[in-house]
């Protein structure tokens, strides 16, 4: 058990039998009345976002979440197999837990997996990854100066928007949170 004074970003709370991760919090002390904590939380399993306010000093239940480093090995049907980088144990994670991270997962890539009582909750990717463009329409002469974009498919099968001058086979940096093109990697 903890109190609302212990709330920080990334804290996982157990409310009404569900796990909620704190995304933002703010301690508020108005001129009149008691202090309170305003939070924005994300349901760990469904991804639903909610705003919740707690009175200051209220006892809350925190969940023990273990974040460990894993390396992605391969996809086995609909499941994904990861290896713990410290003890080499393998962990099979369902597609529902992997979610949109599948768009940026490459074999041998390092990720962080949050575990609660041995079951995986979610996967944290690095902020950006390097991917190779496997298909895009060829660029035309003079496309370098305009600010337009075109669709491109990367090696994971995900489609992103890239500048008109990029060609198939180019290595690009992609933001894993938004799927945005961040730049090309010079070889």
38-68: pLDDT as tens digits? 999 988 877 788 999 998 888 989 888 888 9
Specify the pLDDT at position 95. Answer: 86
Please report the domains of the chain, with CATH numbers, ordered by start residue: 2-60 (2.30.30.30), 66-124 (2.40.50.140), 128-184 (2.40.50.140)
Residue linked to tokens 């990697």 = 185
Rg for the chain (alpha carbons), in Å?
A: 21
- Distance in angstroms (rounded) separating the CA atoms of residues 114 and 68: 7
Specify the pLDDT at position 142. Answer: 58
Specify the pLDDT at position 136. Answer: 87
Specify the pLDDT at position 21. Answer: 85
Please check whether residue 161 is in contact with residue 151, taking contact to mean a CB–CB distance below 8 angstroms: yes
DSSP per-residue codes, 108-151: T-EEEEEEETTEEEEEE--SEEEEEEEEEPPP-TTTTSS--EEE
pLDDT-derived band at 141 (thresholds 50, 70, 90) equals low
Average pLDDT over residues 94-106: 87
Question: Would the pTM count as exceeding 0.85?
Answer: no
DSSP-assigned beta bridge partners for residue 12: 21
* pLDDT top residue among 22 and 144: 22
């Amino acid at each position: 058990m903890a109190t609302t004074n212990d709330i920080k970003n990334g804290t996982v709370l157990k409310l009404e039998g569900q796990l909620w991760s704190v995304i933002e919090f703010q301690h508020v002390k108005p001129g009149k009345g008691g202090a309170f904590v305003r939070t924005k939380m994300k349901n760990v399993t469904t991804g639903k976002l909610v705003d919740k306010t707690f009175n200051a000093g209220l006892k809350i239940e925190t969940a023990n979440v273990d974040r460990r480093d894993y390396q992605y090995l391969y996809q086995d049907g609909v499941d994904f197999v990861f290896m713990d980088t410290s003890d080499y144990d393998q962990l099979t994670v369902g597609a529902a837990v992997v979610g949109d991270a599948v768009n940026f997962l490459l074999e041998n890539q390092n990720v962080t997996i949050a575990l609660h009582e041995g079951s995986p909750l979610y996967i944290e990717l690095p902020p950006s990854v390097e991917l190779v463009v496997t298909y895009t329409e060829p660029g035309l002469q003079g496309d370098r100066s305009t600010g337009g974009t075109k669709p491109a498919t990367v090696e994971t099968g995900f489609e992103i928007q890239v500048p008109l001058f990029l060609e198939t086979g180019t290595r690009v940096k992609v933001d894993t949170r938004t799927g945005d093109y961040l730049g090309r990697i010079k070889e």
